[in-house]
Chains A and B, each alone.
Chain A
């Protein structure tokens, strides 16, 4: 901002509606927390403290409300592999595209349509005449299957938050023409992997409040202990995020590891146990590739043997290895989405950012979803020095 105080900026003219009607967006409280952070930053032994958050919705709020511009230089806030669309691997998209092109009705969340597979996206398949539907929740897929005579596949993506509802659908004895192509992912193992990356050098995690509503904050205790890191569960309103960051910086200053819950109005230590039971009843965690990051043990959720009848991979006998082999990858070699999701690069480090790669013409997956770091930075300006 310029040096002129803002009330002078508008000539002291009255505001039409100056009050703030959302408790968690109170600017005065936010400024008080920012002052605390400034002080804490000065007390750090080894600044800057690098904190990673693991959620696209966190990045949305951080960028939208300009939260990075409120942090002192001694506190660095970066985004990790927290966008479910971004980390869905190309072969998984290829499977969905192949099914759609084979005449199966494929339903999925809207953000998945433009994600590039090896050569084509679901949007490309749709443009060529395939029946690709957008759903808002797993339950919508049941309705589609009830209306359709042919086979319907739910290309199920996302973390614990969406995997639990998918599990509930499988357990509800859905129509026989419905099957699940699971690309669901499980976040804690990815946090383990990223914590071990030498280049990332993170001193604390701001964990995703929405996933923790299901899994509980207790799920991060092993991680915190093994890596001697502080983990704080945070909500999504600006004050939630600032409070979570403040708690983390305090713990980093004090050299304290462990788990704290800065989102107690929604998250408990145990989480939603019935939802967890359903989730683990239907899915098991196996190793799998996260796009651009790594093969991560125990981070992909696949349907258990007992539910094989609803597993699209069983029903359609998809040979994932043969897919996408019929053409060169659309992805440019110099796409650095993987580095961005591992916290070792920022979107503005990418030479294609905002040039060849835009929301209208995404080269990498991070520019596709409204939860992708590149898309968010394109929209809001990322890490401004204002």
Chain B
């Protein structure tokens, strides 16, 4: 293409790289520079695209309508503990839930599939989506299907959009110093089990993804503490490290975390050591991070632990006044910063 309107021929030679899709700073920079640049003013929206939160909040009458959308590509599409269908529903339900919209009003599903794709696989994915919707008390109300040429696409891509209503909108940016940070479950299972599967490494253990909808669990936290739930986030692709750094940066606070308080299963620890991967930097699909006002933290933790999806919940640290925008990790030995990974972590090969 030699069109004079093509920016690539007008001095900007940069190209999209894989790191731009990994969900970290590279993704945020790309989106804010290009795709979100012209939508910076959220207008009537309480939370808009420029906030880069887990979803948008659009006031409708007295209600806070929460909208979110997510496109799911995953290799392999069927993995221990789940599949792309369960992921597509859980991911969107969880993005709504961490904004405070635990009551999911509607989902959409747009599927792009390549020619020659086994119809039986598509049926299996649809069944899985339906089962996950039932678990989340949600329903797909409209959808779209497109087919591309064989080889034009790697298997199947699913976009889901979700709509819910939040009584109390919860943001990434809501942390204040002294708020207690709580994780709802052990971290790293989804990412480590997927990488192990992708690399064909067997650990002789039952490593599997924790992918699941969390709206019922997070409803318990909101019922317990209401507005004392100051911040919530879904630590997906960039892991716990990514979520905490984003919360610290957006809230303008520091965060300190004590490593031994963060639940990590021994299987994930062992596999992480072998593969050279930090479980804190690895994707989760069934975990949420909450920032809770100190006076409500014990009640929220107790309530989460009573729920079957929250029995491993743990208080892992707190927001602090210093080290603003950064996360300090007490390793039990010394302290260091816990950084958001620059790009999607890859297993060690040497």
Contacts and interface: CB of A to CB of B under 8 A. Distances in A.
Nearest to A111: B350
A66 B336 contact: yes
B350 A67 contact: no
Instruction: Name the residue among A2, A25, A64, A379 with the largest chain B CB count within 10 angstroms.
Output: A2
Contacts of A134: 349-350
Contacts of B297: 10-11, 13
Interface in B294-350: 294, 297-298, 301, 312-318, 320-323, 328-337, 339, 342-343, 348-350
Contacts of B266: 21
A269 interface: no
Given A10-B261, A359-B342, A1 B256 contact: yes
B216 to A, nearest CB: 20
A30 interface: yes
A13 B260 contact: no
B337 A384 contact: yes
A63 B333 CA distance: 11
Nearest to B312: A16
B148 to A, nearest CB: 25
Nearest to A381: B337
Interface string B196-226: 0000000000000000000000000000000
Interface in A2-57: 2, 4, 6, 9-11, 13-21, 25, 27, 30
Given A11-B180, A384-B337, A20 B332 contact: yes
B67 to A, nearest CB: 32
Contacts of A67: 333-334
Instruction: Name the residue among A16, A21, A69 with the largest chain B CB count within 10 angstroms.
Output: A16
Interface of A, helix, strand, loop or mixed by DSSP: loop
Given A10-B316, A13-B297, A70 B261 contact: no
A66 B276 contact: no
Interface in A218-262: 238
B263 interface: yes
A13 B301 contact: yes
A176 to B, nearest CB: 27
Interface in A175-214: none
Contacts of B342: 358-360, 378
Nearest to B322: A2
Contact of A25 (B301, B333, B348, B350): B333
Contacts of B350: 85, 109-112, 134, 136, 369-370
Nearest to A61: B333
B19 interface: yes
Interface in B270-312: 276, 294, 297-298, 301, 312
B105 interface: no
B260 A66 contact: no
A66 B330 CA distance: 8
Given A10-B258, A109-B350, A360-B342, A64 B317 contact: no
A306 B180 CA distance: 67
Contacts of B337: 380-381, 384, 386
Interface residues of B, number: 45
B312 to A, nearest CB: 6
A64 B334 CA distance: 9
B334 A66 contact: yes
A16 B333 contact: no
B256 A9 contact: yes
Contacts of A379: 339
Given A10-B318, A109-B349, A136-B350, A238 B298 contact: no
Contacts of A14: 315
B333 A1 contact: no
Contacts of B321: 2
Contacts of B315: 10-11, 13-15
Nearest to A380: B336
Interface residues of A, number: 46
Nearest to A382: B336
A18 B333 contact: no
A69 B335 contact: yes
A209 to B, nearest CB: 17
A64 B331 contact: yes
A68 interface: yes
Given A10-B316, A109-B350, A379-B339, A68 B261 contact: no
A339 to B, nearest CB: 23
A2 B256 contact: yes
Contacts of B348: 110, 370
Contacts of B335: 1, 66, 69, 384, 386
Nearest to B341: A379
A113 to B, nearest CB: 9
Given A69-B335, A109-B349, A110-B349, A6 B330 contact: yes
Contact of A69 (B312, B323, B336): B336
Contacts of A15: 260-261, 314-315
A162 to B, nearest CB: 9
Instruction: Name the residue among B298, B332, B342 with the largest chain A CB count within 10 angstroms.
Output: B332
A129 B298 CA distance: 59
A11 B258 CA distance: 13
A66 B317 contact: no
B333 A65 contact: yes
B258 A13 contact: no
Instruction: Name the residue among B186, B313, B330 with the largest chain A CB count within 10 angstroms.
Output: B330
Nearest to B263: A16
A64 to B, nearest CB: 7
Nearest to A354: B342
A112 B349 CA distance: 10
Per CB-CB distance, the 3 closest pairs between chain A and chain B, nearest first, are A110-B349, A66-B334, A27-B332
25 contacts: A1-B330, A2-B320, A9-B256, A10-B318, A11-B294, A16-B314, A25-B332, A27-B260, A27-B332, A27-B333, A63-B336, A65-B334, A67-B333, A69-B336, A85-B350, A110-B348, A110-B350, A111-B349, A136-B349, A358-B342, A359-B343, A369-B350, A370-B348, A381-B336, A386-B323
Interface of A: 1-2, 4, 6, 9-11, 13-21, 25, 27, 30, 63-70, 85, 109-112, 134, 136, 238, 358-360, 369-370, 378-381, 384, 386
Given A10-B258, A70-B334, A380-B337, 10 more contacts: A10-B317, A11-B297, A16-B263, A16-B313, A64-B336, A66-B334, A67-B333, A69-B334, A369-B350, A386-B335
